[in-house]
């Protein structure tokens, strides 16, 4: 494996848990949005999920995983984790908090285990794609396996 193709922390965790996955590399030297990632990989936008990190009114952090073309409904997100409100964290807080950079953030293998919710539409896919933990690499796995690896629960999270 070349340096670019080296395993990420998320991949090592999946292997340790004996969770099958595949990965796809794509040329991307810096952040690009999830829709563009899906297009570069020739994937449907409903199959590719982005990972968003929030801070709750209770001062805890929460992670939400939604399709790349969707937008968080912050009220639904707060309700799903049982707090009054949540708000997106600043990009500068992402790496120190999670160990991942914008565009390479995944709910598998963060520095600390935060409550994770994945949008319920994932149940309609045969498999989902999420960041592998670095820009330019996506992992594909069964959605229930993703839930197992990230301790996620399904919830309605998006604006309708």
Q: What is the pLDDT of residue 1?
A: 46
Q: Is residue 145 part of a domain?
A: yes
Distance CA 149, CA 19 (A): 8
Per residue in 138-154, pLDDT (tens digit) is: 999 999 999 999 999 99
Q: Is residue 3 part of a domain?
A: no
Q: Is residue 160 part of a domain?
A: no
**CATH number (domain holding residue 144):** 3.90.960.10
Q: What is the pLDDT of residue 87?
A: 98
Q: Mean pLDDT throughout 35-63?
A: 94
Backbone angles phi, psi at 128, to 5 degrees: -125, 160
- Residue 27 scores a pLDDT above 90: no
Distance CA 61, CA 54 (A): 6
Q: Is residue 4 part of a domain?
A: no
Measuring CA to CA, how many Å separate 72 from each of 39, 77, 104, 111, 159?
Answer: 21, 7, 18, 23, 6
| Pair 140, 146: CB distance under 8 Å | no
The number of distinct structural domains making up the chain is 1
Per residue in 69-121, pLDDT (tens digit) is: 999 999 999 999 999 999 999 999 999 999 999 989 999 999 999 999 999 99
Q: Mean pLDDT throughout 3-28?
A: 89
Domain carrying residue 118: 9-155
Q: What mean pLDDT is reported for the chain?
A: 93
């Amino acid at each position: 494996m070349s340096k670019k193709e080296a395993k990420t922390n998320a991949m090592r965790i999946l292997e340790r848990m004996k969770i099958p996955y595949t990965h796809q590399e794509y040329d991307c030297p810096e952040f690009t949005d999830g829709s563009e990632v899906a297009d570069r990989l020739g994937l449907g936008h409903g199959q590719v999920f982005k990972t968003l990190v929030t801070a709750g009114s209770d001062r805890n952090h929460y992670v939400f995983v939604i399709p790349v073309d969707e937008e968080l409904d912050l009220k639904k997100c707060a309700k799903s984790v049982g707090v009054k409100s949540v708000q997106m964290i600043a990009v500068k807080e992402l790496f120190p908090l999670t160990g991942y950079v914008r565009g390479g953030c995944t709910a598998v293998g963060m520095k600390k285990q935060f409550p994770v919710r994945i949008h319920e539409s994932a149940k309609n896919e045969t498999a989902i794609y999420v960041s592998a933990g670095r820009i330019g690499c996506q992992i594909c796995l069964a959605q229930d396996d993703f839930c197992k690896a990230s301790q996620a629960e399904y919830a309605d999270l998006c604006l309708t």
